[in-house]
Amino acid sequence: MMSTVEHTAAQVVADGPGRFELLQRILFGRSGTIFAVAIIFIFIAIAIFAPLIAPHDPLAQSIARINRPPSWENWLGTDQFGRDVFSRMIYGSRNSLLFGLISPVLAAIFGTTLGVIAGYFGGVIDRVISRLVDLLLAFPELLLAILIAAALGGGFWNIIVVITVAFVPGFARVARAQTLSVKQEPFVEAAMAVGVSTPVIIFRHIVPNISAPIIVLITLWVASAIRIEASLSFLGIGTQPPNPSWGNIIRDGLNNLFGSPWPIIGAGAALTGVVLSFNLLGDAIRDVLDPETSE
């Protein structure tokens, strides 16, 4: 049994370009991708090792040291509560990356499931799912997220739910379209003809063959998820204070405009840098895995 599995795996790899070659093409296909990946790794490291890197406690307030300009002690100064802005930014990276990475993956799981079901079974199921997906797709993701957050309120799980729901329809539409075309391939028809059970056809023949555009979509939407979390936190319906996130650091900064502009400038620059890096990486992955849809 074991050898059969290994055998098939080896065949799959031998058919297309190897994993290493794919990785090479993603990283070096476009200039700039390698820098983007470096920035992403730096920020992931910062998020993981935040307690070791941050020079101060991100929550420690001090009336004696409010609104300080940048100095050797506080690289980006302090905010209106006397908290060290640089340390808050370091801890804030945790929220951004956490939501940015979890939500698109969850949305991909739910959305792909819905899309494959709609595409494979067709009929009434397909019509109901497609109708709902079209309805949700009519709303821009951010607006949908704001509307759901308005009903649910903030908090960790609610943010996850909000961003996931906003992304599900996109995945469902792509998965449905892909399933419809893969379903007509001879190998799927052959599997149906010899009586392979439906779950096996779906998981063994359809899902692996529609995975490339789904993976591309996940990477492209990590950046969107990070932006949406930041926007929600900025609006006060995302990560709740005093817990820092880049979005609510900018919100605090805006309420303290005359005090210090540094929280806004610093957190916004980090946010833009990370989003830009994920966008570049997403484009590079799309070039390699899904060349038809790239520019």
Partner 1 sequence: MAKYLLLRLLDAIPTVFLVLVLVFIAMRILPGDPAIAALGDMATPEQLAVFREQMGLNAPLWQQFVDFLLGVLTLDFGRSLMSNRPVLDLILYNLPYTIELTIAAMIMGSLIGIPLGVIAATNRNRWPDGGMRAFSLIGYAIPDFYLGALLLITFALNLGWFPINGGGTDFLDRIHHVFLPALTLAFVKAAFLGRLTRASLLEVFGKDYVRTARAKGAGEQRVIYRHGLRNALLPITTGFGLSLLATLSGSVAIELVFNRPGIGKLLVSAIAERDYSVIQGGVIVFAMFVVLINLLMDLVYIIVDPRIRVK
CB nearer partner 1, residue 146 or residue 182? 146
| Residue 98 Cβ vs partner 1, minimum distance, rounded to whole Å | 18
CB nearer partner 1, residue 158 or residue 211? 158
CB nearer partner 1, residue 82 or residue 155? 155
The structure tokens 């290493």 sit at: 20
Residue numbers at the binding site for partner 1 (CB under 8 A)? 131, 135, 138-140, 142-143, 146-153, 223, 227, 230-231, 234-237, 250, 253-254, 257-258, 261, 264-265, 267-268, 271-273, 275-276, 279-280, 295
CB nearer partner 1, residue 122 or residue 236? 236
| Residue 42 Cβ vs partner 1, minimum distance, rounded to whole Å | 16
Angle at 175 between CA 170 and CA 177, to 5 degrees: 100
| Residue 246 Cβ vs partner 1, minimum distance, rounded to whole Å | 9
3-state helix, strand, coil in the chain (%, to 5): 75, 0, 25
SS3 84: strand
| Residue 283 Cβ vs partner 1, minimum distance, rounded to whole Å | 9
210, two tokens: 């529609």
CB nearer partner 1, residue 165 or residue 206? 165
CB nearer partner 1, residue 191 or residue 280? 280
| Residue 269 Cβ vs partner 1, minimum distance, rounded to whole Å | 8
What Cα–Cα distance (Å) separates residue 47 from each residue in 44, 98, 134, 235, 289? 5, 9, 37, 23, 29
| Residue 94 Cβ vs partner 1, minimum distance, rounded to whole Å | 18
| Residue pair 249/267 in contact by the 8 Å Cβ criterion | yes
35, two tokens: 């820098």
Count of Cβ atoms closer than 10 Å to residue 167 Cβ: 28
Task: Give backbone dihedrals phi and psi of 78, rounded to 5 degrees, phi first.
Answer: -125, 160
6 exposed, middle or buried (CB, 10 Å; 0-12, 13-18, 19+)?
exposed
